[in-house]
Amino acid sequence: MASTAQIPLVGGTADGETVTVELDSNGRPPLTHHHIGPQGLAHAHIYELESDDQRGGWVYTWRGPAA
């Protein structure tokens, strides 16, 4: 079974939410997360992985709309 991590989303429409992602064989989460809101994939927002020294882990930081 793959390992997972819960990573908070920072900024954008999903600010404050948390996503559960699978970690790769090196223990790293995916570099980006496409947050699909209630309006569907056409209105998705892109979040980029960053290390968070204050929290001692990872966060996904909002980069903008996917389209």
d(Cα 7, Cα 26) in Å, to the nearest integer?
17
Which tokens hold the place of 67? 């389209």
pLDDT digits (tens, 9 = 90+) for 7-63: 999 999 899 999 999 999 999 999 999 999 788 888 899 999 999 887 778 999 999
**Alpha-carbon distance 38 to 53, whole Å?**
32
Confidence category of residue 1, pLDDT binned at 50, 70, 90: low
Which pairing describes strands 57-65 and 40-52: parallel, antiparallel, or unpaired?
antiparallel
